[in-house]
Structure 1
């Protein structure tokens, strides 16, 4: 008889693309008995890469969930994308995790995306184990790789296994034991860096016992201070048992309040065989049952309500199925459920109280591309738009948007994401799409405050609409987004007219300001309103609001801002002059230079539109020895950019 489950862990598997992340997920499931046959990335038979695009390309595009059991612990594995174009998918998954396993290749070592992922994990203080994969591959390294991890990822790492015959098919791992004096001394010194009591024991004695060392390691791992490192091979199975033991013993399981009102976050949305939505929700508190009515809040503050028609608990099959004598298994706090019957559900929707402003931030895409159907015609364009809107429910940040003239545009993180969307449109929706060259996404902010009013004058207003609308626009604090306010008396307008004004304000700001870019950090206040009780309609207020807001924005004036990236660049000393000259030519600002006699580390900022060109040129300038890392770092004013010139300037 299986042990009664007493704890649930939700663990993310993260890695640079091709480090072996999905293969490790497959091996963990196989070695713990969750599956009876190993899948293969090359054969497209893995458990978590289920989409046709993922199987064809051998990459993970969407987060997927699988589970296994070890004793009284259920571990839900969330396999996340490894390619940088899908970083938003990774960021969403981090919000529902209890811990993570960061996978490195023993051959390639620390790669660009590895550094981004570890930095994100450390900033979140998420407990993280490091698994060094591919020890049986030629060129695998151990000591040099550990030095690279300390220098580039995290200074406080605890190697927990040793490797024999490294870089050969017969490579094997063996655990270090705390009863080994040399290993215990090294562990004690590492743990003493974060604990004065341990430091006193290391200096004055008596030495920590093996049990005390194990307890201290688990405590500091749980707090994200120390990162245990395990060597192994996902394909060959070496080192997997030690990693499984570490997941269960070193990563902390939360103790959520099951009696509280339900609270949780939707981190993935898929379609089942019949095309209906399936939402993956990590429940943080409370419990859910089938047929329950739920209200969700989207990232933009909008709410929607629906009733569950089906509820599956991830891993419930291991407890004898999802249904029993008392009915379907409820979803309890700490677990992940698949929810059906919610047609308006989107990734990022929150069950329970809305998230506090600024509590979570996902870097916005910096590229935009206009998409056309290869087959001309209004019907084809409508089908394409509907398909892109559907895809944006799985990744809201791509934001399918109607452009002037009826075309549809999407927001992107990179060219691989564009290729994946094109392939998905063809395979899933039967639509061949053509993408225009990507251009950098900028934003407009109001330069000053201004008002404009459109009045009804004894009949229709001069614009032809039965509505009086007066709006004031003003700059809002940087990074706060857009805000709509009232100075008119509430109730002076019928609710439908109020709603028409507010919805149109947000729509106009999203659609673009005087220079053609979406407007942000703008406070819009309704300062005057009026209507005719017989003639006015909500349509009048929508049309009038659009005209008034466009006039007010032109009067206030707007300034264009382009996105920037903060970068770290490691270069050999011999290439320093050439690299700094190239950075200067591309307008990069070098803020700090550190390093020794052989390697220099440059830190600074650069316009996002320059990053791709820099990454292409660095290998030739440094003989392939440069290491580049960058991430979004807000935006900066871009003077002299007009709407007509934006495509040429920022393409």
Structure 2
């Protein structure tokens, strides 16, 4: 058997906006390198990476998938990610395990809002990224004008490695472009040695320019641009060569070190078992090996998940031993979740804001409420940013990014779990933060409000922004049986995460302290403390007072020159705060911040204000105090 270190492994993500051709390019790469014996198609529903029934029906990628091929002594693991913005959490997890990326742009549709989001993130991470312009053989394909758009709307630091002859026709061909003076001038903007050679002489030769391009691509400063067609196959071999040349493998790895890796995807196997995709950085992992994964708990501590890997498949290599750089599909570890770590627990590189839309799901058939909740909790394990939690009347509350994601969840429940569910209209989810300190106490005895044999006193105060919910004890830990302490702490977190604030929203960034406790043995039970704690906590929060915060989006909108005034007037009427406005010869780009509940109004109005030419992009960028409480829907 070949050892895990015998060949170089590159983990490459394919990223793009919807319909740019990501899955088709994956199929072409696998076919041209002999990994598969026939091309699948999105329309035919027989591609290798879109394996779910819903993906095949909709023709979109929903879950991150991995496929591998080998060229020479290099194995390339292709990680196909969703293009729709509702599944940005999937993209986030993929970015954390990549060695490099291929950003796909359609030669017909051009640079889209999602393209700009992705490249901004890739550049922020310093991830080596190649740009591949797809669909050069489609009617309406552009080459030179698209390069201008890329330089203007994405980044000026691009170096074309090819020219196209006959663009927009079935006979389009790709020709290699030499690294000329234009490439050297682009590199001079980010490489001091090339700049010095251009200024002081002698002019850098081709080998020097190529070495600089390799170095600056590796640190994410410059992006080689290639052209081709995933359907026709033009330019694909050049893309493979460029990936091998310009994307360096991950830093030095040690196969003899303790295992270190990240679980970046979880899916259900044929028998309903949980299968985790694990990227290894150091060390080796073997089938039947005992492992301990780490994750952050709700209070920021470390949770340990121990288990034995009962089955394993190394992507692209087979066998049951995975080494540095490789991806292994592992079975047998109960409770494995996305984001779990082998080795040192660290935060990932990519960070997208959590979802801010909330909906409530209810089972159509009576008696399936518990099964619905269990299914949604399992889906939340596969996508932790969904956040499923119990709601009233047997319903389940879900946090989501958008309507498409809600439709996919509904289809998944029906297809994979046999549960038909209805969803309430989505609404923006706000939070409350304490503005002062409040205390409340319930004493058992003749003056007890509840009549229960449980004494609970709580103090609630504000915590630092981003600290979440912190619980601590001012009482002696042994003053209550352990089960009663646990009942109090669990109830505090559950109540605050639900509708715990006076306005009915979740409460966060607060510090709750148990200041008094007591029980009556053997009469008291844990349920008494849960009931009393919920009542006392609500009183303490109300006495502390809270401020409601609503999520806001950072936005960027590109509009024709003559549409600037009506678009900015509409944004201003919705309460937008403006940042920078820049103009060119054809359009204006306006940036700013807008509350999340107003974003949909802009998206609906923009086509009419711009004759269909406006391009809108936004993402959650934080929150701010609600300025007009009466304008918010009730919690």
Q: What interval of TM-score do these two structures reach, taking the shorter chain for normalisation?
A: over 0.9
Contact 1:63 1:268 in 2 (8 A): yes
Match among 329, 344, 355 for residue 338 of structure 1: 329
Residue 397 of structure 2 corresponds to residue 409 of structure 1? yes
* Cα distance between partner residues in 1 of 2:284 and 2:477: 38
Q: Which residue does the alignment assign to 2:378?
A: 390
Counterpart in the other structure of 2:216: 220
Residue 127 (structure 2) pairs with residue 131 (structure 1) = no
Cα distance 1:345–1:153, how it changes in 2: closer, same or farther (>3 A)? Answer: same
Aligned to 2:432: 444
**2:352 corresponds to 1:362:** yes
Post-superposition Cα deviations, 1:509-551, rounded to whole Å, max 9, x if no partner, equal 1112222211111111222333345344333333332222121
**Equivalent residue number for residue 566 of structure 1:** 554
Residue 286 (1) aligns with residue 283 (2): yes
Matched, 1:351 2:347: no
Q: 1:293 deviation in Å?
A: 2.4
CA distance in 1, matches of 2:106, 2:629: 44
Cα 1:67/1:597, change in 2 over 3 Å = closer
- Kept after mapping to 2: 8 A contact 1:559/1:639: no
Cα separation, partners in 2 of 1:137 and 1:30, compared to 1, 3 Å: same
Q: 1:331 to 1:637 in 2, by over 3 A?
A: same
1:190 matched to 2:167? The reply is no
Contact 1:299 1:348 in 2 (8 A): no
1:485 aligns with 2:485: no
Distance in 1 between residues matched to 2:284 and 2:328, nearest whole Å: 11
1:258 aligns with 2:255: yes
**SS of 1:149 mapped into structure 2:** helix
TM-score, length-normalised on structure 1?
Answer: 0.92
3-state SS in 2 of match to 1:274: coil
- Per the alignment, residue 237 of structure 1 pairs with 233
Moved more, 97-106 or 498-507: 498-507
Please state if 1:208 is matched with 2:204: yes
- Which residue does 2:151 correspond to in 1? 150
> Does residue 470 of the first structure (1) align with residue 467 of the second (2)?
no
- The 3 A distance-change label for structure 1 pair 24 and 330 is same
Cα offset, 1:504, TM superposition: 2.0
**Secondary structure in 1 aligned to 2:368?**
helix
Root mean square deviation, CA, Å = 2.1
Q: Tell me how far 1:638 sits from its aligned partner.
A: 1.2
- Range with bigger deviation, 150-159 or 537-546: 537-546
Match of 2:23 in 1: 22
The alpha carbon displacement at 1:55 in A equals 0.4
Distance in 2 between residues matched to 1:502 and 1:518, nearest whole Å: 16
> How far apart are 1:148 and its partner, in Å?
0.8
Residue in structure 1 matched with residue 522 of structure 2 by the alignment: 534
CA distance in 2, matches of 1:529, 1:337: 49
SS of 1:472 mapped into structure 2: strand
Compare 586-595 and 100-109 and name the one that shifted more.
586-595
Q: Distance in 2 between the 1:206 and 1:235 partners?
A: 44
Distance in 1, Cα, partners of 2:26 & 2:381: 26
How far does the alpha carbon of each residue in 1:465-522 deviate from its partner, in whole angstroms, 9 at most, with x for none?
4333222111111122222223333444443333332222211111122222111111
In structure 1, distance between residues paired with 2:417 and 2:576: 42
Name the structure 2 match of 1:326: none
Question: Are 1:248 and 2:218 counterparts?
Answer: no
Moved more, 423-432 or 47-56: 423-432
Within 5 Å, which residues of 2 pair with 1:58-73? 58-73=59-74
How far apart, CA to CA, are the structure 2 residues paired with 1:444 and 1:215?
Answer: 54
Q: Evaluate the alpha carbon distance shift between residue 360 and residue 58 of structure 1 in structure 2; reply closer, same or farther with a 3 A threshold.
A: closer
Q: Aligned partners of 2:70, 2:183: CA distance in 1, in Å?
A: 29
> Match for residue 167 of structure 1?
168
Moved over 4 A (4+): 1-4
CA 1:485–1:259: 2 relative to 1, 3 Å: farther
Match of 1:579 in 2: 567
Structure 2 gaps, min length 5 = none
In the TM superposition, residue 578 of structure 1 has moved relative to its aligned partner by: 1.1
Q: What does 1:46-65 align with in structure 2 at a 5 Å threshold?
A: 46-65=47-66
Q: CA deviation at 1:195?
A: 2.0
C-alpha contact (below 8 Å) 1:282/1:336 kept by paired residues: yes
CA deviation profile, 1:26-75 (whole Å, cap 9, x unmatched)? 11111111111111110011000000000011000000011111111111
Q: Matched residues in 2 for 1:207 and 1:352: separation?
A: 48
In structure 2, distance between residues paired with 1:453 and 1:256? 56
Aligned partners of 1:250 and 1:27: how far apart in 2? 20
Q: 1:303 to 1:466 in 2, by over 3 A?
A: farther
After TM superposition, give the deviation of residue 570 of structure 1 in Å: 1.4
> Cα deviations across residues 8-40 of structure 1 (Å, max 9, x unaligned)?
111110000000000001111111111111111
**Distance of aligned partners of 1:299 and 1:149 in 2 relative to their CA distance in 1, 3 Å threshold:** farther
Q: Is contact 2:125–2:350 with CA below 8 Å preserved after alignment?
A: no
Are residues 1:553 and 2:553 paired?
no
Is there any run of 5+ residues in structure 1 with no aligned partner, and where? 323-328
**CA contact under 8 A between 1:560 and 1:639: conserved in structure 2?**
no
CA distance 1:286–1:537, shift in 2 (3 Å): farther
